[in-house]
Chains A and B, each alone.
Chain A
Amino acid sequence: MARYFIRRALSLIPTLFVIVTLSFFLIRLAPGGPFAREKDVPEFILQNLLKRYHMDEPLGKQYLRYLGDILRWDLGPSFRYRDLSVNEIIDKGLPVSMTLGVTSLVLAVVSGIAVGIISALKQNKWPDYVAVSIAVIGISVPLFVMGPILQLFVGMRWKILPMGQWISVHGIKAIILPALTLSFPYFAYIARLSRASILEVLRSDYIRTARAKGLKESMVVWKHVLKGALLPVVTYLGPAFSGIVVGSVVVETTFLIPGIGRPFVQSALNRDYTLIMGEVIVYSVILIFANLVVDLIYGLLDPRISYK
């Protein structure tokens, strides 16, 4: 198990190398550049800028220089936010995005599984219909609709919770609305996923055996159904985790939250090369580790899987 973990962690290095290389050259292929403006920049200023950011060097040299920099975890200066380095932007924004993401994911997993269990056990009765309807709404209503609706009613009309901005301004209650908004589609998906897989397990032979042994239905569900039925949910957690952190762009914008989602989108539009690269690296690491953790949880849940 420990060896498996180390091996997987080491495989991070070549994976990241490929990601860094591909993204480095791909963004250079995109038209425009960090200093392209509506108004032409005088030639000598442009030359100075290019020199300042080493962009007058051949691309290969720039690439090697960048590789050297990131080995020292120096992600370079932002091309657009002149007084900030990429490291500073990420150091400031990542904890915010992670707090929001983890809160949303925990919310989505706990409520999603609970609703999934209830609707599977009450299949085709009214609790199931209610749950399935909510899940369909959750999957089909986009974040940029859900967020403003919550802001309008809870924040503006009823004035129960702050409409926007982060913990630093409003305290812990600032997290509630954005986390609700962000978790909703994930909650809905997890609810549907766990409902379907619980229903499948409930029909399996080993559940028939458990019932034939005289176990109470509650015991059958807790002890015999859930472990197997939650495997697909666990599988989904890897992509969900990175998705929920990346997907927070809309929510961060709607609720004016100083995370890293918004700078990411802005950096792509601005051709802020170093910031794009920095964000890509951060997200890749998150995704790879999320998947690794999921694989490890998988091994704990299913005795048929062993890691060598």
Chain B
Amino acid sequence: MTDEVILQVRDLKTYFTVDEGVVKAVDGVSFDLHKGETLGIVGESGSGKSVTNLSIINMIPNPPGKIVGGQVLFSGKDLLKIPASELRHIRGNKISMIFQDPMTSLNPFLKISTQMIETIVLHQGLDKKAAKEKAIEMLKLAGIPAPEKRIDQYPHQFSGGMRQRVMIAMGLSCNPEILIADEPTSALDVTIQAQILELMQELTKRLGTAVILITHSLGVVAGMCDTLCVMYAGRIVERGKTDDIFEDPKHPYTQGLIRSVPRLDKENADRLYSIPGQPPNVIDLPDCCPFYPRCEKAKDICKKKYPPVTGFENGRAVSCWLYAEETK
């Protein structure tokens, strides 16, 4: 990881218009991604993690979704403003994505070779033969045994873990600068999860790829990520270095999340902690801290106004009235 920033997300807002009103799935998200960094985004289901990342490569289905504001700056260009043809050149090439469910993310009607070669031919301008060799090489890197043979098979001949390896191989085949992994292990069983994460970590380190890892597992984040963004109801409530956050979580929500992870290293016979209540309905959310109904430290001001960002040392930032001064 270096100090060179390769991706800047600034005040990103993605809203979905539904019959009941406007869902502010992502409402003012900002973060930086450095070269070679692994950034974790955690949050409960529906907190806007996936929408944030689909917005980065402008793949929000419209209608009903729409990116209503903000910037995504990548190599000096705003990805939300460039023409579609230019954006296609970035998707899968400079920024690639792998998804949650490997069982459905590969096209069941096409051979692995077809699916891998089309990306390489498209972005690298290789001929089919060279592209196939490259694809085999990537599959080998991703730990697929006998890749020369396996490449001509169909997705249904692979197990879930193997399919996710194929997705990783495909995602990294054009040597992207950023790999966005949207809950890459949630659909896999635990032993395979560890293997896949290890593989991702090893390959991205070797290729110098920055990773945005979306997950709801703090364990995964602790093991893999340099920095961490905690999302709640469409906004980032706390961000900073992973170690700092685990050592001293500042936002009550982050504190709650960390307390609700089972710990093997602590003698603790008590019931596992869980944050009371449910995530808020994000339709027509008023301008308050969306966490206050569940917060043990809620104050009056929390119900009236969304807290501003308070900065701390080492790039730490928290949105909570516990740390902010109320300005009148």
- Chain A residues in contact with chain B, CB under 8 A? 204-206, 208-216, 219, 223-224, 227-228, 301-304
Contact = CB atoms under 8 A, between A and B. Distances in A.
A227 B110 contact: yes
A101 to B, nearest CB: 29
Q: Which of A208, A227, A228 has the most CB atoms of chain B within a 10 A radius of its CB? A: A208
A205 B111 CA distance: 16
Interface of B: 57, 59, 88-93, 96-97, 99, 101, 104-111, 118-119, 122-123, 154, 156, 167, 170
Give chain A's interface secondary structure class.
Answer: helix
A211 B96 CA distance: 10
Given A208-B99, A303-B154, A304-B156, A213 B105 contact: no
6 contacts: A206-B107, A212-B57, A212-B97, A215-B92, A228-B107, A228-B108
A206 B98 CA distance: 11
Q: Which of B109, B110, B111, B122 has the most CB atoms of chain A within a 10 A radius of its CB? A: B109
A212 B108 CA distance: 17
A304 B154 contact: yes
Given A227-B110, A303-B154, A303-B156, A205 B105 contact: yes
A206 B106 contact: yes
B122 A215 contact: yes
Contact of B109 (A209, A211, A301): A301
Contact of A210 (B93, B107, B108): B107
Contacts of B109: 227-228, 301-303
Q: Which of A206, A216, A224, A227 has the most CB atoms of chain B within a 10 A radius of its CB? A: A206
B91 A209 contact: no
Contacts of A223: 110, 118
Nearest to B104: A205
Contacts of B108: 206, 228, 302-304
Given A205-B99, A303-B156, A304-B154, A213 B122 contact: yes
A276 B214 CA distance: 68
Given A212-B91, A213-B92, A215-B88, 5 more contacts: A213-B119, A213-B170, A224-B107, A303-B108, A303-B111
A234 to B, nearest CB: 13
A205 B109 CA distance: 13
Contact of A209 (B88, B106, B123, B154): B106
A304 B93 CA distance: 30
Contact of A213 (B91, B111, B156): B91
Contacts of A206: 104-108
Contacts of B110: 223-224, 227
Contact of B96 (A205, A213, A216, A228): A213
Contacts of A204: 104
Given A228-B109, A304-B156, A214 B104 contact: no
A115 B109 CA distance: 23
B59 A205 contact: no
Contacts of A214: 88-93, 119, 122-123
Contacts of B101: 205
Contacts of B105: 205-206, 208-209
A210 to B, nearest CB: 7
Contacts of A208: 59, 99, 105
A204 B108 CA distance: 11
A167 to B, nearest CB: 40
